[in-house]
Amino acid sequence: MLFLLLGGSGSGKSAYAEELVKSLQHKESLYYVATMESDSAEAKDRIDKHRRLRDGKGFITLEYPIHVENAVKEIQSKENIMLLECVSNLVANTFFAEDDYWKQAELDEIAKKITGKIKNLSLNTKHLVAVSNNIFEDGIKYDESVIKYQKLLGRVNCLLAEDADVVVEIVCALPVVWKGTLPLANITQ
């Protein structure tokens, strides 16, 4: 199944995603596909901290800031559960990467390509939980490249939601279900 979790910053979506993954697990291996780029000391610290937290919970961490499709090569079997965090970083890394193709290509085409990568991950897992960000409600008119990024992430979220079995918005660590049903009601936060 494909799960899409959305929420604002500090909404508790990461913690909720981890709980959801644990509640889905019987014997499957757990993978965490991290998309944050470790290009600064602050980012490295954050990543180390999160990794230590997750290692205790049995996650195998894979780092793919752009080419998430390659994560498939590292998994042993399809009987696994994968947490992808987060789609907004993946889209940002892809979009702002120094690659002329992305700058020229149509937004829709890029959105489809990124979504395709995520769908492919989903095909190679028992459950994929993709976490994305709600960066669309502050009403600020940013400069052109940021607006393009917003449009792109919005499009990717729409495309993912279309394919997802379950779409959940996280508000103050509580789930608001937009599509499908959460498989378990006993997720406690």
Partner 1 sequence: MCYKFMLKGNQYGLGIIMKLIIGGCCQGKLQYVYRTSGLLQDAVLYGVENKYKTDEIQIPVEGTWIWNDFQDWFQKMLEERKDPETTADQLLIDHSNIIIICDEIGNGIVPLSIEERLYRERLGKYLCSLAERAESVERILCGLSQKLK
Residues that bind partner 1 (CB under 8 A): 4, 6, 8, 134-140, 150-151, 153-155, 157-158, 160-162, 167, 169, 176, 178-179
SS3 of residue 111 by DSSP: helix
> Judged by CB, which is closer to partner 1: 98, or 106?
106
Q: Smallest gap, in angstroms, from Cβ of residue 140 to partner 1?
A: 6
Best CA proximity match to 150, nearest among 138, 167, 166, 161 = 138
Enter the tokens of residue 16. Answer: 């909720």
SS3 of residue 24 by DSSP: helix
Alpha carbons 23 and 136: distance in angstroms, whole number: 30
Q: Give the bridge partners for 133, in sequence order.
A: 7
Q: Smallest gap, in angstroms, from Cβ of residue 152 to partner 1?
A: 8
> Judged by CB, which is closer to partner 1: 20, or 152?
152
> Judged by CB, which is closer to partner 1: 5, or 34?
5
Enter the tokens of residue 101. Answer: 């193709």
Q: Smallest gap, in angstroms, from Cβ of residue 95 to partner 1?
A: 13
Q: Say if residues 175 and 182 touch (Cβ distance below 8 Å).
A: yes
> Judged by CB, which is closer to partner 1: 31, or 149?
149
Q: Smallest gap, in angstroms, from Cβ of residue 176 to partner 1?
A: 8
